[in-house]
């Protein structure tokens, strides 16, 4: 009914304007013509344009139009595209978003194609391919890349403090006294009078350089903030992953870790949450305001791009389990269920997920491709640029990663956990207050 | 334009001079100077950042001069850097066709402004100067549209344009704006209310039609508010972002705001290409500045001038 | 001097609100004059709005089909602490904005009118408005950064404690309001200035001859005759302020905790981020109702429909 109203009004307006509305001719066959592909990271645009060209060379009857739009606009315009039926045939997909798309039947299942074309999901790094299988057991994406967490640190400030690269690579942590991680952070902290954080007379209210930088409270995931610590305690975000139905923010193990984390602020070793709303943590790092920054591998380019700042990359500390831990997140390419050229789209997605394209991506040294051999090439490409990224890749090699928590209601969970974690990290509430938030979160799944 | 001097202002000025309160005037100038400083100084920072190298900005955060002086940001804005160079400079690998975006922006802003101001003036005339039943109710409805949260309208309008087959066309871009803007109607109505009826009544007695009154009396007399409104509308349209982003995705109809959006942060947690963003801000503000420089004087003059033919 | 005289005699002066010559009316001609605007109104405002109102009674995730649930959304909103918080926060923003912006703009307009007539000054004051909302917000986000922002460097260098403009609960909203004031001050001043220019000069002459002080002139002539324009400015500013979104979205995103979760941002979060479009629509309808009431009161109170020209 609604549609009709709009339709007739449209017709009326068209008549008034004496326009001849020209519908786009969409009679092309399903396996031919131009398909649209979207991604958000502009740094990867050259690589994927190259892939598109190579792909057209191999499949002369298909061309790929690559469109890039920034993260902030990406999801809004994509949703509008879903509603209007104008979404791109293929697009870069995120784990935090795709459960919602599955629920609303916006994604094309790839199982038949993957079986028919013998796509080897074993070529991808362990676990990545499984991330993109929905609760219904169907596959909704082919992995394109992955990321882990490591510690970026300012080598000059560390050396000044007598902290060596070897020490940085061998940190330990526990939630009780923080282990050598906390000792190092304390030692790297310097107040206005030049007194270090572990020395007598340290003025925690006038800190010049913080030992550890802070991006934010981490909301419910703490991907770069605290998950590399909580992951070593045996704690997991959800009862199972993927598709957990119950969150564990009420676990004392977790709350203990968060109390330690928030305590760093109180001790003056980490900036107050309220002071971190503004310039990115990386920029304040470059300005010499903090020495260690835990951050994701997608930020390598940013951290190594500053002039006059020497950056070292150390693995995350060994924790309670005696091992390191890093959240393991991956992107994939998905196909829009409303595509008019499913066959061409599938060909393109398979090409994106193939060694041919992922090697091209690897050569640009921006991210780690999903295919194991391509990821190795990326490590080499980074090395050629003078950046040692083993701190990121060793987590995968050693099997110390855990998967990004995938669950329904991601946005609603975030809506509850963001304010709750903000309150804790800013010292306005104890970590035990997260129990109440956890109840709210779990109520979403009832 | 013959009488360019506003009698009101000149009189006030002369009376002021006679009084021994010059301190009042100098005080006023100090206030003006402060206001100008507050308005303009941040733009120095914009310029300073635009002339800096991205990689050096953070390390020179408190330096008042450009950090590592470099014109790369402007080159990026005009699409003169190769993607590799741009990425190395902390920019994005996106391709930029500056002149096409500029053309589209000019077309988009000019068409919508001219058309919306004209049609809104017609409507405002009906609301302010004509007598008809239901006038205030209809006006209230129009006024109410100003209060509709844009979130409501974007999606249905997008669907409408799509169903008309106008996605990625200039017509689709301008269509929602060309008939009126609620603000323009409201604005002009308030001015028309204040106009004297004397001349209008006289013209009516002479048998002039409403059309003639509108074109020959109302519009010329409202030159000042019309010019002001046009300028403000143009600026607003020039900066319009979300709608062109939705409807004008295609390269051929992409406007400046959307095209230069690549200088904003492109990935979560990433920092924007600050120098590129600031250079883009300056460059895209330039056409409006030029417009103001050309027509600004006219606006001043016409504001003081309130004559009829 | 071909100045259009405006001292229409009281008998001639017809207040638009009154319906003197009823019956006769100008319906046909009026229809002609508002026809184009009416098309735009119906197509691009009325239809989407009615659709939005309909959706506010449904459960709808944008991508699925709307499902009628009656007033359930409204009932939930009444009990939603975040809604009441958003209302409070938004009101705070609006108040700061209105007071600052209107006062400053009125002052500036008077200065432009009487003292600083140069186009260059007018252009300089309008400069911030040339910057898109989002860019202005990003610029200030950076200028005001606690750790590496130049403003805090200056504050620090004169020995004052640095301010977490965006991060602290007390400052988050005032900062947003200040940024908005910065961008719109010149714009609003220009609107008022245009209104000042349309006040007939002979009124000032008379006042001068009568020996009225500048203050008296302002109160007895300027202010009353500025009423339609002031009503416009106030209504536009209030409506604009209630709809604050861009600056919050690119800076604090509602934080810290909920300190800057303004209504429009909350609507956006509900409707798009959390895909609860029905709930978002209901919130939007409430916002719409609030604005309509405020505007109505203002029009009555300020008699924005009338001019005091006599």
Q: Which of A282, A279, A281, A364 is nearest to A43 (CA)?
A: A364
Can you state the angle between helices C133-143 and B22-50, rounded to 10 degrees?
Answer: 90
Maximum CA extent, chain C: 73
Which residue in C42, C146, C272 is closest to A79 by CB distance? C272
Distance from the B103 Cα atom to the nearest Cα atom in chain A, whole angstroms: 21
Fold for domain C80-302?
A: MetI-like fold (1.10.3720)
Angle ∠(A385,A387,A390) on CA atoms, nearest 5: 130
C253 close to B (CB below 8 A): no
The per-residue pLDDT for B85 is 79
B43 interfacial to chain C (CB closer than 8 Å) = yes
The terminus-to-terminus CA distance of chain A in angstroms comes to 34
Mean pLDDT of C130-139: 85
Sheet holding A290-296, edge to edge: A190-191, A207-212, A290-296, A149-154, A311-314
Q: Is C144 on the interface with A (CB under 8 A)?
A: yes
- In the prediction, which pLDDT does A336 show? 96
Q: What percent of chain A has pLDDT over 90?
A: 74
- In angstroms, the CA C38 to CA C287 distance is 24
Q: Is B294 on the interface with C (CB under 8 A)?
A: no
Of B93, B166, B271, the CB nearest to A43: B93
**Integer angstrom CA distances of residue A226 from A349, A389, B247:** 34, 21, 41
Cβ of residue B79 closer than 8 Å to a chain A Cβ: no
Q: What is the pLDDT of residues B143-157, one digit of tens each?
A: 888 888 777 788 788
Q: How confident is the model at residue B193 (pLDDT cuts 50, 70, 90)?
A: confident
What total of structural domains would you count in chain A? 2
Across the interface, of C43, C130, C191, the residue whose CB is closest to B289 is C130
Residue A258 inside a domain? The answer is yes
Nearest to C109 by CA among C98, C122, C92: C122
**Smallest Cα distance from B113 to chain C, Å:** 14
Say yes or no: A4 contacts chain C, CB-CB below 8 A.
no
Q: What is the CATH number of the domain that holds A198?
A: 3.40.190.10
C231 touching B (Cβ < 8 Å): yes
Contacts of A414 in chain C (CB under 8 A): 273
Subunits with 3+ C-beta pairs closer than 8 A to B: A, C
pLDDT digits (tens, 9 = 90+) for B212-224: 888 888 888 888 7
pLDDT for position A156: 95
CA distance B35 to B24: 17
Mapping DSSP to helix (H, G, I), strand (E, B) and coil, where does residue C84 land?
helix
Residue contact C243–B149, C-beta within 8 A: yes
CATH class of domain segment(s) B98-255: mainly alpha
Cα separation of B104 and B99, whole Å? Answer: 9
* Mean of all residue pLDDT scores within chain A: 89
Q: Which of A271, A278, A283, A286 to mutate to test the interface with C (most CBs of C within 10 A)?
A: A278
pLDDT tens digit string along A87-126? 999 999 999 889 989 988 999 999 999 999 988 888 999 8
Assess whether A303 and A248 both reside in one domain: yes
| Sign of the CA dihedral with C210 first, then C215, C216, and C220 last | positive
A24 domain residue, yes or no: no
A421: nearest CA in chain C?
C257
Residue C3 has pLDDT above 50, yes or no: no
Closest Cα in chain A to B271? A280
| Residues A318 and A359 occupy one common structural domain | no
Q: How far is CA C145 from CA A44, A84, A152, B62, C163, in A?
A: 29, 40, 22, 12, 9
Is a pLDDT exceeding 80 seen at residue C209? Answer: yes
Section A134-151 average pLDDT: 94
- What separation, in Å, do the N-terminal and C-terminal C-alpha atoms of chain C show? 22
Asked if A411's CB is within 8 angstroms of C274's CB, the reply is yes
Mean pLDDT rounded to a whole number for chain C? 83
The whole-angstrom distance between B61's CA and the closest CA on chain C is: 6
Identify whether residues A315 and A411 lie together within a single domain.
Answer: yes
Average pLDDT of chain B to the nearest whole number: 81
Tell me: do A300 and A435 sit in the same domain: yes
Domain boundaries, chain B: 1-96+264-309, 98-255
Q: Is the predicted pLDDT of residue B18 greater than 70, yes or no?
A: no
Whether residues C167 and A278 touch (CB distance < 8 A) is answered with yes
CA distance C161 to chain B (A): 17
Which residues in chain B touch residue C228, judged by CB atoms under 8 angstroms apart? 190-191, 193-194
Domain that includes residue A417, residue range: 149-328+404-443
Beta strands (DSSP E) in chain C are 58-59, 67-68
B163/A7 Cβ within 8 A: yes
Average pLDDT over residues A256-266: 96
**Across the interface, do B55 and A307 touch by the CB < 8 Å criterion?**
yes
- The whole-angstrom separation of Cα C118 and Cα A48 is 53
Token pair in block for residue A253: 């193990």
Could you give the 3-state DSSP secondary structure of residue B74? helix
Q: Are residues A335 and A320 in the same domain?
A: no
């Amino acid at each position: 009914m609604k549609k009709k109203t709009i339709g007739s009004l449209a017709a009326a307006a068209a008549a008034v304007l004496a326009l001849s509305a020209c519908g786009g001719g969409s009679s092309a066959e399903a396996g031919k013509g131009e398909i649209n592909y979207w991604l958000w990271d502009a740094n990867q645009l050259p690589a994927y344009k190259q892939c598109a060209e190579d792909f057209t060379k191999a499949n002369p009857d298909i061309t790929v139009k690559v469109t890039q739009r920034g993260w902030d606009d990406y999801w809004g315009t994509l949703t509008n595209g879903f509603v209007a039926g104008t979404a791109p045939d293929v697009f870069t997909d995120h784990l935090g978003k795709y459960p919602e798309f599955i629920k609303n039947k916006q994604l094309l299942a790839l199982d038949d194609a993957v079986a028919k074309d013998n796509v080897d999901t074993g070529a991808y790094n362990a676990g990545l391919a499984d991330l993109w299988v929905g609760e219904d057991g169907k596959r909704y994406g082919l992995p394109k890349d992955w990321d882990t967490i490591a510690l970026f640190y300012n080598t000059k400030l560390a050396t000044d403090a007598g902290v060596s690269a070897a020490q940085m690579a061998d940190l330990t942590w526990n939630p009780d006294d923080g282990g050598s991680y906390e000792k190092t952070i304390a030692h790297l902290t310097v107040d206005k009078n030049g007194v270090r954080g572990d020395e007598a007379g340290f003025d925690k209210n006038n800190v010049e350089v913080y030992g550890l930088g802070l991006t934010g409270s981490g909301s419910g995931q703490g991907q770069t903030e605290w998950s590399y610590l909580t992951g070593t305690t045996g704690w997991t975000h959800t009862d199972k992953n993927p598709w957990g139905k119950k969150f564990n923010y009420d676990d004392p193990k977790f709350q203990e870790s968060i109390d330690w984390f928030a305590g760093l602020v109180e001790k003056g070793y980490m900036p107050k949450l309220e002071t971190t709303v503004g310039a990115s943590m990386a920029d304040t790092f470059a300005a010499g305001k903090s020495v260690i920054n835990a951050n994701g591998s997608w930020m390598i380019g940013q951290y190594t791009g500053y002039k006059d700042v020497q950056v070292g990359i150390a693995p995350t500390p060994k924790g309670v389990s005696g091992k390191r831990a890093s959240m393991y997140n991956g992107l994939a390419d998905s196909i829009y269920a409303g595509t008019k050229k499913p066959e061409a789209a599938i060909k393109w997605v398979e090409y994106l997920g193939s060694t041919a394209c992922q090697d091209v991506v690897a050569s640009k040294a921006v991210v780690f491709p999903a295919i194991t051999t391509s990821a190795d090439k990326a490590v080499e490409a980074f090395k050629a640029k003078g950046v040692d990224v083993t701190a990121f890749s060793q987590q995968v090699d050693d099997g110390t990663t855990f998967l990004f928590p995938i669950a329904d209601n991601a946005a609603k969970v975030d809506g509850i956990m963001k304010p709750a974690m903000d309150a804790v990290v800013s010292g306005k509430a104890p970590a035990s207050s997260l129990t109440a938030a956890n109840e709210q979160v779990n109520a979403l799944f009832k | 334009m013959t009488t360019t001097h506003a009698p009101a202002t000149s009189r006030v000025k002369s009376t002021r001079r006679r009084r021994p309160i010059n301190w009042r005037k100098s005080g006023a100038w100090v206030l003006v100077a402060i206001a100008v400083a507050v308005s303009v100084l941040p733009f120095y920072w914009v310029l300073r950042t635009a002339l800096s190298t991205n990689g050096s900005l953070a390390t020179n955060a408190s330096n008042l001069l450009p950090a590592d002086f470099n014109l790369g940001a402007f080159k990026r804005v005009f699409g003169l850097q190769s993607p590799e160079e741009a990425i190395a400079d902390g920019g994005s690998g996106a391709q930029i066709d500056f002149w096409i975006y500029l053309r589209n922006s000019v077309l988009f802003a000019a068409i919508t402004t001219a058309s919306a101001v004209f049609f809104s003036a017609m409507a405002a005339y009906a609301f302010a100067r004509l007598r008809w039943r239901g006038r205030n109710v209809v006006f209230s409805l129009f006024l109410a549209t100003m209060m509709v949260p844009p979130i409501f309208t974007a999606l249905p309008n997008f669907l409408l344009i799509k169903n008309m087959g106008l996605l990625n066309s200039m017509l689709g871009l301008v269509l929602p704006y060309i008939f009126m803007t609620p603000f323009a109607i409201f604005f002009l109505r308030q001015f028309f209310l204040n106009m004297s009826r004397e001349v209008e009544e006289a013209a009516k007695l002479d048998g002039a039609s409403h059309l003639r009154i509108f074109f020959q009396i109302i519009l010329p007399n409202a030159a000042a508010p019309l010019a002001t409104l046009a300028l403000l509308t143009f600026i607003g349209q020039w900066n319009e972002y979300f709608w062109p982003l939705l409807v004008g995705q295609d390269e051929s109809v992409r406007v400046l705001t959307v095209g230069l959006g690549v200088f904003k942060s492109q990935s979560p947690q990433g920092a924007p290409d600050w120098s590129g963003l600031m250079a883009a801000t300056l460059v895209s503000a330039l056409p409006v500045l030029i417009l103001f420089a050309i027509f600004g004087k006219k606006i001043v003059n016409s504001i003081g001038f309130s004559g009829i033919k | 001097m071909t100045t259009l005289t405006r001292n229409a005699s009281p008998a001639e002066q017809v207040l638009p609100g009154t319906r003197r010559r009823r019956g006769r009316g100008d319906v046909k001609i009026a229809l002609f004059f508002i026809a184009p605007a009416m098309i735009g109104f119906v197509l691009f405002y009325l239809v989407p709005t009615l659709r939005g109102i309909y959706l506010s009674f449904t459960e709808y995730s944008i991508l699925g089909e709307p499902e009628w649930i009656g007033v359930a959304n409204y009932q939930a909103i009444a009990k939603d602490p975040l809604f009441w918080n958003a209302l409070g926060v938004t009101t705070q923003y609006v108040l700061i904005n209105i007071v600052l912006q209107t006062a400053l703009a009125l002052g500036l307009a008077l200065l432009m009118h009487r003292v600083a007539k140069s186009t260059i000054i007018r252009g300089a004051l309008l400069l911030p408005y040339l910057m898109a909302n989002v860019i202005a917000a990003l610029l200030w986000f950076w200028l005001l950064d606690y750790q590496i922002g130049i403003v805090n460097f200056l504050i620090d260098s004169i020995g004052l404690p640095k301010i977490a403009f965006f991060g602290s609960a007390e400052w988050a909203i005032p900062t947003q309001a200040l940024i908005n004031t910065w961008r719109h001050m010149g714009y609003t001043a220009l609107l008022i200035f245009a209104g000042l220019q349309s006040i007939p000069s002979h009124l000032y002459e008379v006042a001068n001859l009568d020996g009225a002080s500048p203050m008296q002139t302002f109160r007895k002539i300027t202010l009353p005759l500025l009423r339609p324009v002031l009503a416009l400015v106030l209504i536009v500013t209030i409506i604009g302020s209630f709809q604050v979104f861009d600056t919050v979205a690119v800076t604090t995103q509602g934080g810290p905790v909920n300190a800057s979760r303004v209504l429009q941002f909350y609507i956006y979060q509900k409707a798009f981020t959390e895909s609860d479009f029905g709930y978002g629509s209901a919130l939007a309808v409430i916002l719409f109702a609030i604005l309509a009431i405020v505007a109505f009161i203002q029009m009555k109170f300020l008699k924005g429909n009338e001019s005091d020209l006599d």
